[in-house]
Structure 1
């Protein structure tokens, strides 16, 4: 298993490639992305068992979404067999994906433990939501503190994100063992850290900074239109940006591993 070394600009290409795949079949990629997001929210709402089951099932869920992107990429007709590739049938790697999910659960618990220890025993997610009321005044000091804690958790979770970025695809499609998939994913991500950083920055701009700038601009022009603009942007994020980012992650795997396999075949 060899990963290609790509230039930094390739990270931005993944975003454009994700949009190109989305344009080929918007209903399919949007549908699987929405089902994925709804499943994540459903598990989050389940008391006690939900936060445990979600990391365990996340690799299998991720592979299912990527299967839809691969169907579009290969211009295949959608089918149950293609959508469940690597999860059932002759190449059934679902048990291995569950073991990978168990490793992800262990990693998530370590991140929470370290964040709690660094925070002096305080739950790092306790004040993640500043207020449930949209019109309630926000304390700038509290907002800065919460953003600081979230940035701290994200920093601690970065090694976990790197290790699991390509792991579900390697386990499901390439039949790599869970432990080796984490190794190959980490090596590929570090080897292409410039492209990964560029992709992350582009995703943050498209999904975070640009919508925020639009909301600020609308608020300056007309405060009455702010609520409508918020609803529209939320719909755009769910039905356009999220599917494009999903397809972009698939494109990053294809660009680094699949092309490498074809080159060295």
Structure 2
């Protein structure tokens, strides 16, 4: 397994591939994303251990969505069982994925704790009022600072885990090594990732403006309230459909082929 440096314009290609693959199998990929969100939301509502379990599940669930994208891209119809791909790869890789999930949960709580501490005691939004960010909360300086700090601190955590689930699942890389190679690959292809995030930002902003204009033409706030959440979920599902391509193009096997 070797790193594969790609030009910055590849980030735009990743976005295009994610959108095309989603359009090819919209019902399957959207349905799997909604199922993923329902499971994580249900777990997070459990007392005491709910939030740690939900966070620990995220790497495995993300891997499941990547596996679904790979199947859709190859012309197959991804079934719900694909979400459990990480749990059907043998004991060794299952154990490694569980360790990776535990590390992610621990890292997330460290980020939340640091954000609250550095923000002067303002808890990050995910830890207050059931995880809902309200207008009243945004008026509190400590909470707003905590939100900004959380975003900044989650960036390195996200880069560490960006490729890690795929490396663990498809190539048997140990959890700690997968974090190292994930961060190294993200740094190597930082130009492509920057273009990728900027392009997705443009897509989200463009769709948001279109939704607002459409709602205004059809009936105002009531129509907007009815369509904004489903549209946001669909756009999120489309974004997750592009994650597989960022991994596929960032590594090559020893024979020079894409890894998965």
TM-score (norm 2): 0.85
* Cα-Cα RMSD: 2.9
Once the two structures are superposed, residues 58-94 of structure 1 have per-residue CA deviations (whole angstroms, 9 ceiling, x without a partner) of 2211111111111112224546886654532558611
Query: Do structure 1's residue 237 and structure 2's residue 237 form an aligned pair?
Result: no
Q: SS in structure 2 opposite 1:93?
A: helix
Post-superposition Cα deviations, 1:149-170, rounded to whole Å, max 9, x if no partner, equal 3222110111100000110000
Distance 1:17 1:218, change over 3 A: closer
- The alignment status of 1:182 with 2:176, answered yes or no, reads no
Other-structure match for 1:253: 247
Instruction: Report deviation, 1:223.
Output: 9.7
Structure 1's 149 and 20: CA in aligned 2 closer, same or farther, altered over 3 A?
same
Report 1 or 2 for greater relative contact order, CA contacts < 8 Å, sequence distance ≥ 6: 1
CA distance in 2, matches of 1:141, 1:162: 27
- Paired with 2:226 and 2:79, the residues of 1 have a C-alpha distance of 34
Partner of 1:200 in structure 2? 197
Q: Identify if the C-alpha distance between structure 1 residues 139 and 57 changes in structure 2 by more than 3 Å, giving closer, same or farther.
A: closer
Corresponding residue of 2:32: 32
Question: Using the alignment, how far apart are the partners of 1:70 and 1:59 within structure 2?
Answer: 17
Q: Matches of 2:70 and 2:138 in 1, distance apart?
A: 45
Give me the whole-angstrom Cα distance separating, in 2, the residues matched to 1:124 and 1:85: 32
Partner of 1:116: 116
1:29 shift after superposition: 1.1
Change (3 A) 1:69 1:130: closer
> In the aligned structure 1, how far is the partner of 2:112 from the partner of 2:137?
25
Deviations 1:23-64 (A, max 9, x none): 222222112111111112112222221111012222211111
TM-score of the aligned structures, taking structure 1 as reference length: 0.83
CA change 1:191–1:114 in 2 (3 A) is same
1:41-190 equivalences under 5 Å are 41-76=41-76, 78=78, 84-89=84-89, 93-125=93-125, 126=128, 129=132, 131=134, 142=139, 146-190=143-187
C-alpha distance in 1 between matches for 2:197 and 2:53: 27
Quick check: 1:191 aligned with 2:183? no
Distance 1:14 1:235, change over 3 A: same
Structure 1 residue 144 displacement after superposition: 7.6
Size of the aligned set, in residue pairs, is 254
Q: Is the 8 A contact 1:87 1:94 kept in 2?
A: yes
